[in-house]
Amino acid sequence: MRAAVQWAQPVLRNRLACWQHRPERGWTATVAPRLIAQATATHASRWRTETVTFTSTAVAVATVGGSRPGERWIVKVPWTDQAVDGLRRQAEVLDLLRADPRLPDLRPVLPSCAAQGEVEGRYYCVERALRGGPASGMLLRRTRRAALLASASRVVRDLHERTRELTRLHPSTVAPWVDAPLQRLEEYAATHPERDRLRDTLRRLREELLAALVGRTVHTSWIHGDFWPGNLLAVTPPGQVTGIVDWDRASARQLPLHDLLHLHVLTRRLTRGDELGEIVVHALRHGVERTLDVPADEAATWLDGIPPRPALLLYWMRHILLFIDSEGDHDDPRWIRGNVERVLVNV
């Protein structure tokens, strides 16, 4: 029961976000056919807006169908500065990955920004619609879930393996992974009634992470950076991934464990309702393989020799740094409690 209520809250929050913002959705629905006509050098009367959703990151996403069967395009219009920066960054990343000769198998699942520009002073981006439906709706049946996770892991590991470099971890490599999130957590700790205790914990975590990481040789690679089922499109059966969206958090020379842990942690979150922080604490206590229901040898390949505790802490810290200042999270006491505080008081 508790899990069901917890699960319902983010879903309801997203639903609400989708149904609010009528003016933004209406405006996007109106301009979208014109933008597709421009991008494809066709007449606007051939195109019709089918749906417009407003995402939790303040982007209006319009699906536009053409008069010929199977013709479908996406128009994205961001409504905050943060969302504009995210879409511009995504367009840059996608150009880089598409042009990368090491990644032929990734290209079919990558969106491509066919046109971008400004309409009535507002940034927009046009993408060809990828095949498939949202993978987050395919997790409830165990066999489908297993097929989807296997396909998603295969695709993302191909990205990791084809772009990987053997990297010896120096203090300067590790600093952005450890010091940047810890600094943000220090700011959080300063607002907490138990600030001294939390600051001690943060100091201890820094020492522990530097000791575990500096001097170690691991593989680093491009990562997607927000690799969860909500950013995957798939067809069922057989649960094959047909698209990967939302590339604005992608970057080079990172630890592949972030994508693999995030895929499995968020799958547990979506199927069982636990908050991410709760799942991290469970994995710290009971092991990655038991918490995420994967074979031990598979979990070991994700971590590439890094012991589970520092690996989980790095994953958690990166996630917190990325999302603590994004709209809808930092100002949500429930998110802070379940994701930030829950881990800090248990490590």
Ligand X SMILES: Nc1ncnc2c1ncn2[C@@H]1O[C@H](COP(=O)(O)OP(=O)(O)O)[C@@H](O)[C@H]1O
Q: Which residue has the tokens 């090491």?
A: 102
- What minimum distance in Å lies between the beta carbon of 156 and Mg ion? 15
Q: Give, to the nearest 10 degrees, the angle between helix 257-272 and helix 2-19.
A: 100
* Segment interacting with ligand X, rule: CB under 6 A, options 21-29, 56-64, 98-106, 251-259: 56-64
**127 is a contact residue toward Mg ion (CB under 5 A):** no
Q: How buried is residue 67: exposed, middle or buried, by Cβ count under 10 Å (0-12/13-18/19+)?
A: exposed
| Residues from 101 through 140 that contact ligand X (CB under 6 A) | 111, 127, 129-130, 134
Q: How buried is residue 299: exposed, middle or buried, by Cβ count under 10 Å (0-12/13-18/19+)?
A: buried
Q: Please give the Cα distance from 310 to 303 (Å, whole number).
A: 10
Of 59 and 313, nearer to ligand X (C-beta) is: 59
Of 315 and 323, nearer to ligand X (C-beta) is: 323
**345 is a contact residue toward ligand X (CB under 6 A):** no
Q: Please give the Cα distance from 128 to 345 (Å, whole number).
A: 45
Of 70 and 295, nearer to ligand X (C-beta) is: 70
* Segment interacting with Mg ion, rule: CB under 5 A, options 1-9, 123-131, 240-248, 261-269: 240-248
Tell me which of Mg ion, ligand X, none is bound by residue 201, counting a contact when its beta carbon lies within the kind-specific cut-off of 5 to 8 angstroms: none
| Residues from 245 through 264 that contact ligand X (CB under 6 A) | 245-246
Strand partners, 223: 251
Of 24 and 127, nearer to ligand X (C-beta) is: 127
Strand partners, 26: none
Tell me which of ligand X, Mg ion, none is bound by residue 74, counting a contact when its beta carbon lies within the kind-specific cut-off of 5 to 8 angstroms: ligand X
| Residues from 210 through 239 that contact Mg ion (CB under 5 A) | 231
Q: Please give the Cα distance from 159 to 149 (Å, whole number).
A: 15
Q: Please give the Cα distance from 193 to 191 (Å, whole number).
A: 7
* Segment interacting with Mg ion, rule: CB under 5 A, options 186-194, 216-224, 245-253, 323-331: 245-253
Of 223 and 343, nearer to ligand X (C-beta) is: 223
**246 is a contact residue toward Mg ion (CB under 5 A):** yes
In the list 74, 152, 155, 205, the residue contacting ligand X (rule: CB under 6 A) is 74
- What minimum distance in Å lies between the beta carbon of 65 and ligand X? 12
Residue 238 is encoded by which pair of tokens?
A: 């057989």
- What minimum distance in Å lies between the beta carbon of 246 and Mg ion? 4
- State the chain's maximal CA–CA distance in angstroms: 65
- What minimum distance in Å lies between the beta carbon of 245 and ligand X? 4
Four-CA torsion 314, 254, 153, 343, nearest 10 degrees? 10
At 190, which helix (H) or strand (E)? helix 171-190
Tell me which of Mg ion, ligand X, none is bound by residue 291, counting a contact when its beta carbon lies within the kind-specific cut-off of 5 to 8 angstroms: none
* Segment interacting with ligand X, rule: CB under 6 A, options 12-20, 52-60, 179-187, 331-339: 52-60
Asked if 212 and 204 count as a contact pair (C-beta separation under 8 A), the reply is no
Residue 191 is encoded by which pair of tokens?
A: 């607002």
* Segment interacting with ligand X, rule: CB under 6 A, options 37-45, 54-62, 174-182, 213-221: 54-62
Q: Collect all residues with Cβ–Cβ distance below 8 Å to 85 and sequence separation of at least 6.
A: 248
The DSSP secondary-structure symbol of 246 reads: -
Four-CA torsion 285, 287, 291, 293, nearest 10 degrees? -170
The CB-nearest residue to ligand X is 55
- List interacting residues with ligand X (CB under 6 A): 55, 57, 59, 61, 74, 111, 127, 129-130, 134, 230-231, 233, 243, 245-246
